[in-house]
């Protein structure tokens, strides 16, 4: 009996999560790429506040690692008509960038002569 009850609870949770994801998608607050969920509330914040809010939500600031993830981030940029912070920092060497944890970048998709720090990246 206990196994059946646990199975019912799991089914109920999966159903409720599915419904919640559907509502968030309808409200243009989440999108998915490669099994990862990308989310935004569309509000403006500075970089540090963005990093902190992502942590509070149990996630991390978006860092595109492939074209699909880049498109997921771009979805919010276009929908909210704004820029997006990424989990990337410039190193001590100008023009060289790395992930927030110090790991090297394995994917970039910048326009020519970017990043320039002028919001065109």
Written in H, E and C, the secondary structure of 17-83 is HHHHHHHHHHCCCEEEECCEEEECCCCCCCHHHHHHHHHHCCCCCCCCCCHHHHHHHHHHHHHHCCC
CATH number of the structural domain spanning residue 80: 3.10.100.10
Residue of higher predicted confidence among 68 and 58:
68
109 in a domain, yes or no? no
**What is the arithmetic mean of pLDDT over 3-18?**
85
Give the per-residue pLDDT at 4. 72
Over 90: is that where the pLDDT of 78 sits? yes
pLDDT band at 92 (very low <50, low <70, confident <90, very high): confident
Give the per-residue pLDDT at 6. 81
pTM attached to this predicted model = 0.78
- Length of the chain equals 121
Average pLDDT for the chain: 87
Three-state DSSP class for residue 98: strand
Q: Which residues of 14-34 are buried (b: 16+ CB within 10 A; e: fewer)?
A: eeeeeeeeeeeeeeebbbebe
Over 80: is that where the pLDDT of 109 sits? yes
Host H or E run for residue 99: strand 97-99
**What is the arithmetic mean of pLDDT over 30-59?**
91
Q: Token digits for 7?
A: 């199975």
**What is the arithmetic mean of pLDDT over 93-113?**
87
Domain that holds residue 49: 1-99
19 in a domain, yes or no? yes
* Cβ neighbours of 4 (radius 10 Å): 8
Looking at the structure of the chain, the number of domains it has is 1
Give the per-residue pLDDT at 38. 93
Give the per-residue pLDDT at 80. 92
Give the per-residue pLDDT at 120. 58
């Amino acid at each position: 009996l206990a196994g059946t009850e646990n199975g019912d609870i799991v089914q109920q949770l999966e159903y409720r999560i599915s419904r919640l994801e559907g509502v968030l998608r309808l409200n243009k607050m989440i999108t998915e790429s490669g099994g990862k969920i990308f989310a935004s509330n569309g509000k403006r914040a500075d970089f540090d506040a963005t990093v902190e809010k992502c942590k509070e939500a149990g996630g991390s600031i978006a860092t595109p690692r492939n074209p699909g993830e880049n498109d997921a981030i771009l979805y919010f940029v276009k929908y909210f008509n704004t820029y997006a912070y990424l989990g990337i920092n410039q190193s001590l060497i100008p023009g060289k960038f790395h992930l927030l944890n110090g790991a090297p970048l394995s994917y970039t998709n910048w326009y020519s002569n970017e990043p320039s720090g002028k919001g065109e990246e």
